[in-house]
């Protein structure tokens, strides 16, 4: 049996999601007797629904290899969640119809928890419709919130970016604090979980080292305690570095970023949480501050990706194909830690049905008792994930990222309107 494969990227992209694509395509190319062409979804799953697919066989081996060091989503990704089977069976039927029209027997879906749920439902639907498609999920999310796997490809590189940036900015602030900025705030991603903020904690080893305060979404914001910590840090070390999760909340559940501030027209100001924290520092302590918002820079910073993360991203792509060829279905490769120091890991698998819609939260014992830092256990977990550098090649001073030809696959079905 030989069939084509369909690969799609889902949700927020990362600096290493293309490394997973590289793992899928390179591995598929090694098994041409079983896997025909690898088609990629233009803009993720929408590419299947709209029958807008990309023929990756038109890309040279060098171009595919270059995916390993290229951030972003090479075929386009999408924030598009398929509804439940009962609510929107037509969409699943359409998917299967497109797969059928293009002789697609393998579906590789590269995303987070929602996407694993979708992949699982596609597997179910393909059984029901008696058009067997092997459905394999490939983990990806900077949020690091998928269960079972030691970490999620994409997270380690964000963690490294945040730890390095915190360390570097802290050196800047420390050197100027006597006559300039005393409090520096770095806003990082993490709406529900503080994994990324926690990574900032790797920048320092002792209480004197930055960051002096980390604000987690898991810990309700205690303004008096926070201000006391900032004040003490400035008194003791001359300055204070704060890493704040975008998802930090007031005790009543409101996001800090939703500070009820209004613009000149009376509209609610959509501000970053860093600006809110800075304003609290200014108004309550009168200290000079600066803040940075890493935003997309953190999850696209392939130039400072963690070597471990790149290797794992590639490995889950490769293993996804190997699992499919070994007859597995409705599973997701996971990373299993076999040792922390030195970090050793292997790839296993878990049923998609067990992954779907389950979030891995930060354990409370990873956050310091006072809520403002990370524990030794957290450090032991995180440290291996930022190991190693995996620099992209450069040309004319800039990373030489690949732009694929992205040749479309000719449509075979009548057009329909999606969305």
Candidates 73-81, 97-105, 108-116, 369-377 — which segment interacts with a second copy by CB under 8 A? 73-81
> Which of 49, 119, 123, 163 lies at the binding interface for a second copy (CB under 8 A)?
163
Candidates 21-29, 75-83, 122-130, 219-227 — which segment interacts with a second copy by CB under 8 A? 75-83
**Any contact of residue 160 with a second copy (CB under 8 A)?**
yes
> Which of 64, 125, 350, 386 lies at the binding interface for a second copy (CB under 8 A)?
386
Largest CA distance in the chain: 72
Taking the least distance from each CB to a second copy, the nearer of 67 and 219 is 67
Upper half-sphere CA count for residue 156 (Cβ side, 13 Å): 27
Q: Reduce the secondary structure of 115-158 to three states and give it as a string.
A: HHHHHHHHHHHHHHCCCCCEEEEEECCCCCCCCCCCCCCCHHHH
CB of 11 vs a second copy, minimal distance in Å: 9
Q: Which of residues 346-365 bind a second copy (CB under 8 A)?
A: none
> Which of 100, 127, 290, 411 lies at the binding interface for a second copy (CB under 8 A)?
290
**Any contact of residue 174 with a second copy (CB under 8 A)?**
yes
Contact (CB, 8 A) for 198 and 216: yes
CA 15, 13, 25, 359 torsion-angle sign: positive
> Which of 179, 206, 338, 339 lies at the binding interface for a second copy (CB under 8 A)?
179
Upper half-sphere CA count for residue 397 (Cβ side, 13 Å): 0
**Any contact of residue 73 with a second copy (CB under 8 A)?**
yes
**Any contact of residue 84 with a second copy (CB under 8 A)?**
no
Candidates 19-27, 55-63, 169-177, 245-253 — which segment interacts with a second copy by CB under 8 A? 169-177
CB of 401 vs a second copy, minimal distance in Å: 6
**Any contact of residue 212 with a second copy (CB under 8 A)?**
no
**Any contact of residue 43 with a second copy (CB under 8 A)?**
yes
Q: Which of residues 245-284 bind a second copy (CB under 8 A)?
A: 259-265, 267, 269-272, 274-275, 278-279, 282-283
**Any contact of residue 146 with a second copy (CB under 8 A)?**
no
Q: What are the two backbone dihedrals, phi and then psi, of residue 11, each rounded to the nearest 5 degrees?
A: 75, -165
Closest CA to 219 of 209, 208, 229, 231: 229
**Any contact of residue 67 with a second copy (CB under 8 A)?**
no
55 is annotated as an active-site residue? no
Taking the least distance from each CB to a second copy, the nearer of 63 and 350 is 63
Number of amino acids touching a second copy (CB under 8 A): 83
**Any contact of residue 155 with a second copy (CB under 8 A)?**
no
Q: Locate tokens 């891995």: which residue?
A: 360
Q: How many contiguous H segments (helices) and E segments (strands) does the chain have?
A: 13, 13
**Any contact of residue 9 with a second copy (CB under 8 A)?**
yes
> Which of 1, 338, 396, 414 lies at the binding interface for a second copy (CB under 8 A)?
396
221's CB contacts (< 8 A; 6+ apart) are 215, 248, 249, 250, 251, 256
3-state secondary structure of 245: strand
Taking the least distance from each CB to a second copy, the nearer of 358 and 394 is 394
CB of 76 vs a second copy, minimal distance in Å: 5
Options 143, 145, 150, 390, the catalytic residue: 143
Q: Measured between alpha carbons, how far is 170 from 183 in angstroms, rounded to an integer?
A: 10
> Which residues partner with 249 through β-bridges?
255
Taking the least distance from each CB to a second copy, the nearer of 213 and 331 is 213
> 190-204 burial string, b = 16+ CB within 10 Å, else e?
beebbbbbbbbbbbb
Closest CA to 340 of 150, 196, 158, 156: 150
CB of 394 vs a second copy, minimal distance in Å: 6
Q: Which of residues 296-335 bind a second copy (CB under 8 A)?
A: 296-297, 299-304, 306
Candidates 61-69, 122-130, 219-227, 288-296 — which segment interacts with a second copy by CB under 8 A? 288-296
DSSP code string of 363-381: PGGGB-TTSSSB-HHHHHH
> Which of 180, 223, 357, 407 lies at the binding interface for a second copy (CB under 8 A)?
180
Taking the least distance from each CB to a second copy, the nearer of 94 and 160 is 160
Q: Annotated active-site positions, please? A: 143
């Amino acid at each position: 049996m030989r069939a084509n494969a369909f690969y799609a990227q889902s949700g927020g992209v990362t600096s290493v999601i293309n490394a997973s694509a590289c793992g899928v395509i390179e591995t598929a190319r090694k098994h041409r007797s079983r896997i025909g062409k690898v088609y990629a979804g233009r803009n993720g799953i929408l590419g299947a629904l709209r029958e807008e697919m990309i023929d990756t066989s038109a890309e040279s081996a060098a171009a595919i290899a270059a995916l390993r060091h290229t951030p972003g989503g090479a075929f386009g990704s999408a924030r598009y969640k398929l509804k439940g089977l009962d609510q929107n069976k037509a969409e699943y039927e359409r998917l299967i119809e497109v797969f059928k029209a293009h002789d697609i027997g393998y579906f590789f879906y590269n995303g987070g928890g929602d996407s694993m749920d979708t992949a699982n439902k596609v597997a179910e639907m393909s059984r029901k419709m008696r058009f067997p498609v092997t459905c394999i999920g490939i983990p990806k999310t900077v949020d690091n919130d998928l269960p079972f796997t030691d970490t999620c490809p994409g997270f380690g590189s964000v963690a490294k970016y945040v730890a390095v940036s915190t360390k570097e900015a802290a050196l800047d602030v420390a050197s100027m604090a006597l006559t300039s900025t005393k409090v520096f705030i770095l806003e990082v991603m993490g709406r529900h979980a503080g994994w990324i903020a926690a990574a900032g904690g790797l920048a320092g080893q002792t209480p004197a080292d930055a960051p002096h305060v980390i604000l987690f979404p898991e810990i309700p914001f205690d303004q008096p305690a926070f201000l006391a910590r900032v004040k003490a840090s400035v008194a003791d070390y001359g300055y204070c570095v704060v890493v704040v999760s975008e998802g930090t909340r007031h005790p009543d559940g409101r996001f800090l970023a939703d500070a009820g501030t209004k613009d000149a027209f009376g509209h609610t100001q959509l501000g970053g949480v860093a600006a809110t924290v800075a304003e609290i520092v200014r108004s309550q302590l009168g200290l000079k501050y600066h803040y940075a918002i890493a935003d997309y820079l953190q999850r696209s910073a392939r130039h400072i990706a963690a070597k471990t993360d790149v290797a794992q991203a590639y490995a889950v792509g490769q293993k996804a194909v190997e699992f499919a060829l070994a007859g597995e279905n409705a599973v997701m490769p996971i990373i299993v830690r076999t040792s922390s120091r030195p970090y050793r890991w292997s790839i296993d698998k878990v049923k998609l049905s067990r992954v779907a819609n389950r979030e891995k939260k930060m354990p409370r014992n990873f956050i310091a008792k006072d809520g403002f830092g990370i524990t030794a256990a957290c450090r032991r977990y995180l440290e291996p994930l930022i190991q190693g550098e995996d620099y992209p090649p450069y040309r004319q001073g800039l990373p030489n990222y690949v732009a694929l030809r992205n040749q479309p696959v000719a449509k075979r079905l009548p057009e329909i309107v999606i969305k």
